[in-house]
Amino acid sequence: TSISMGTVHDTNCSHPSCWWGEYVAGLKLISCNSIHFLCLPPSEVDSQQNMSPEHSSINIILFGALAKDYSESVSQGDMLLVTGFSVGNSPTAQKDKLHACNLQLAGNDAWMYVSTCLGRGSYAVKVVKYTYVPLSDLKPGVVVNVYAVVTFFKQPFRTKGTDYCSTLKITDQSNKKVGCTIFCDKLEEHPKIFKMGDIIRLHRVKTQLFNGAISLLTSHGFSVVTFDGMVGSPVIPRTSSESFKFGEEDCQVVEALRTWAANQSLVPAQPCVPLSAVQPTTYFDLTCQLLAKAPVDSSCTLLKVWDGSKCPHPLLDVFVEPNTLEGSPTLSKDMANLTANVLVYDNHVEVARQFKPGSYLRIYNLHAVPGASRLPSNDSVQSDQTGHLGFHLHGGTSYGRGLRVLPEDSPDILDLKKILETFSESDINDSSMFEVWSTPPESFGIPLQSASYSDTCCMCIGVERTCDHTVEQVSLAEVKSRSPPQVFHVQVQLKSYQPQRLYQSLKLFCHKCKTIRDVPDDVTVGGLFSEAQKDVGPCNNGYWTLVLPLPREPPSESPSRTLTLLMSRATLEETCRIASAYSNIVPVTSPQGTMTPLDLSAPFLFRGTKRYYGCKQCSQLKVGESLGEGVDVWDEKSVAEALGVQLLQYGLLMKLELQDGTGFLEALLWRDAESFFHVSAEDAAADQEAQDRVQETMDRLCPPGSSTAERPWMDLCLSAYTVEENGQRRACYQICHTGTRVGSLHTP
């Protein structure tokens, strides 16, 4: 795998195995194209004009999605940049007298940029142009691309064949309503539709006459992207595809469809109803958080959910054996009439089985049923629940009946989270560190993984002090009675910890202004990228531009000497792809024709899978100045310095509630968190293995579902200090000089 650049010489395909529809090594070879290209950096093309192609040309062969997407878009004279290829023997070398090897681009790692030269060192990347047909213009028997508004949908359901099926009804400005059937064996490749009014882009769908009307059906190479339909919300494509194309034109089409749809009455009366507005016997859509679930029998699963609103009708309680229950419903929420019991039947059981407690769900066409549940276990319970509201998701898919997980950053869920947070049952302190504390309230206290206690209890963990001072061990009661500053040694158990969603413990810290901020999620960063796309000046002809320093050495040879400024026509996803090929990627924008990094809420530097952030308060961007004179090696520090960015450092912040029989104490894990877990926070931000290590440590200290008596004892070194807030002084505690060690068990 390497990086090559060159100019397209010929686009005739001479590959012997080039047949439409052929399967090659598990990849569906939809088309295949070989491109002879000059194996020279573009700066040398002019001086090498008279070089014979036999000595300078090589075949590139594209497979699968790349072939599909790029074969039509490449033309003679185009500039190419190719990464992630493998080098093979060219079977046509004898015949075409070209290079004995060829470059083969296949799979997810292969990437190709097609460019037309704009001037030395800067290229506009040409992408495939799709044309979209208005729904009223569809003729039977052709493959087309369409953009439309979803007016009806069913979540994917199993067919009698090999695939899942999504059934949709769509419409566009032509006012034509068209049915659409999507067959696909992979659930994740089905359109991600959350509600009516969502926007959908379909590529390569086949028109078909059915019952005298045109309908759309998936065809070879089908792909789909969806968008939120709300006017003014960011245009963020929802797809699992890694190679989809999305540009400024797409934004405009989406926005036009949104505006048009807003003035139509396409969507029936709001099907989304909170529990507080549910009428008995009606069908409605519910957006909620899953608290717990339990299998009832082979055709029925119980979901305990809430949406933070209080139902005016008493809610039915459904009793299940505690050992069959996954997740932690709380009695207090039951008592407050906040927990809704949803019985999910038949085809939906398979879907519900994938859900994890804590996730956010939307349940479509839920039936509010008054009257006691007929579950056998309820008969033994004396409480009279006549007239209490239970909820049934009946079998079948009529009226779009179904359910799905919603991403946590979707707008509806952000609203829901705000509501749920007002139900905080734990009092969260507000010292300076807790200002950034995004830990959800007790109600979110649900483990990410549902490992049972029996899975984890056999693995023992030791927690040891690494400090060299000899301080006598004291009780927590003693600790609280003494005034800081002071250092203590304690032997304690973990009662609880926050955040339970461990990725929320990742923070960014500024050494200069001492502030801590959260690491933004991909949707936030992706939004900043699409914002920046709007700012790119008129010098760009509607595409994004790769600006390379045109190093004397090719980028592949000494990656640490290369800094790439990436003009943000690129999406976050594309930037990540490029970052995996180049060593340092700085996304830039040019609002007034001057290149400048994006808003510092976004990473200013991408390298491999790592992202680096700058402090918004302390950075003083050097705009328009020449970059990196005298810099030999580009690392995050030198890049930050060259850009005038105050580099933020990754850290882990957790709050541990400790107990030892004499009392409880809340202590922060911050300064020495990395040595506590034996991971670097920077790794934890980018590396699953490091994240797993933190999760495992917490699972061992506090096994899910365990009683406190079952948890290991820890020897901790505690540092007590004073925090001043609102003129009041308060003692705070931090765990320091302490590390975990797997494999030994401490007993009190």
List of residues contacting DNA (CB under 7 A): 151-152, 154, 159-163, 165, 167, 169, 179, 181, 183, 208, 210-211, 215, 217-218, 283, 299-300, 345-346, 365, 367, 374, 392, 394-401
Question: Closer to DNA at the Cβ: 299 or 466?
Answer: 299
As a whole number of angstroms, the distance between CA 316 and CA 388 comes to: 5
Q: Which two tokens stand for residue 451?
A: 């490992």
Q: How far is the CB of 215 from DNA (least distance, A)?
A: 6
Q: Which ranges constitute the DSSP H helices of 80-186?
A: 93-96
Question: Closer to DNA at the Cβ: 282 or 432?
Answer: 282
Separation in Å, CA 573 to CA 242, 506, 530, 568, 640? 8, 21, 11, 12, 22
Burial of 658 (C-beta count, 10 Å sphere; 0-12/13-18/19+): buried
Q: How far is the CB of 184 from DNA (least distance, A)?
A: 8
DSSP run (H or E) holding 411: helix 411-421
Helix (H, G, I), strand (E, B) or coil at 179: strand
Helix (H, G, I), strand (E, B) or coil at 37: strand
Q: Token match 């028997």: residue?
A: 141
Q: How far is the CB of 400 from DNA (least distance, A)?
A: 6
As a whole number of angstroms, the distance between CA 495 and CA 702 comes to: 8
Question: Closer to DNA at the Cβ: 181 or 706?
Answer: 181
Q: Which two tokens stand for residue 266?
A: 């396409």
Question: Closer to DNA at the Cβ: 142 or 414?
Answer: 142
Q: How far is the CB of 641 from DNA (least distance, A)?
A: 56
Q: How far is the CB of 399 from DNA (least distance, A)?
A: 4
Q: Say if residue 499 is preceded by a cis peptide, omega within 30 of 0.
A: yes
Q: Token match 């003494």: residue?
A: 482
Q: How far is the CB of 373 from DNA (least distance, A)?
A: 8
Q: Which two tokens stand for residue 217?
A: 């059906």
DSSP run (H or E) holding 531: helix 522-535
Q: How far is the CB of 610 from DNA (least distance, A)?
A: 40
Q: How far is the CB of 368 from DNA (least distance, A)?
A: 11
Question: Closer to DNA at the Cβ: 164 or 676?
Answer: 164
**Cβ neighbours for 420, distance < 8 A, ≥ 6 positions apart:** 289, 306, 307, 308, 440, 441, 443, 444
Helix (H, G, I), strand (E, B) or coil at 623: coil
Question: Closer to DNA at the Cβ: 54 or 297?
Answer: 297
Q: Which two tokens stand for residue 546?
A: 């790769």
Question: Closer to DNA at the Cβ: 64 or 614?
Answer: 64
Question: Closer to DNA at the Cβ: 212 or 485?
Answer: 212
Question: Closer to DNA at the Cβ: 313 or 480?
Answer: 313
Question: Closer to DNA at the Cβ: 68 or 245?
Answer: 68
In 228-359, beta strands by DSSP E: 283-297, 300-306, 326-327, 340-345
Question: Closer to DNA at the Cβ: 138 or 685?
Answer: 138
Write the Ramachandran bin of 141: left for phi over 0, alpha for psi from -120 to 50, otherwise beta.
left
Q: How far is the CB of 213 from DNA (least distance, A)?
A: 9
Question: Closer to DNA at the Cβ: 146 or 572?
Answer: 146
Q: How far is the CB of 329 from DNA (least distance, A)?
A: 22
Pairing state of beta strands 86-89 and 101-105? antiparallel
DSSP run (H or E) holding 180: strand 177-184
Q: How far is the CB of 272 from DNA (least distance, A)?
A: 14
Separation in Å, CA 80 to CA 1, 4, 451, 501, 568? 16, 8, 49, 43, 19
Residues in the chain, total: 748
Q: Are 92 and 16 contacting, i.e. CB atoms less than 8 angstroms apart? A: yes
Q: How far is the CB of 33 from DNA (least distance, A)?
A: 22
As a whole number of angstroms, the distance between CA 42 and CA 710 comes to: 67
Q: Which two tokens stand for residue 263?
A: 């003035």
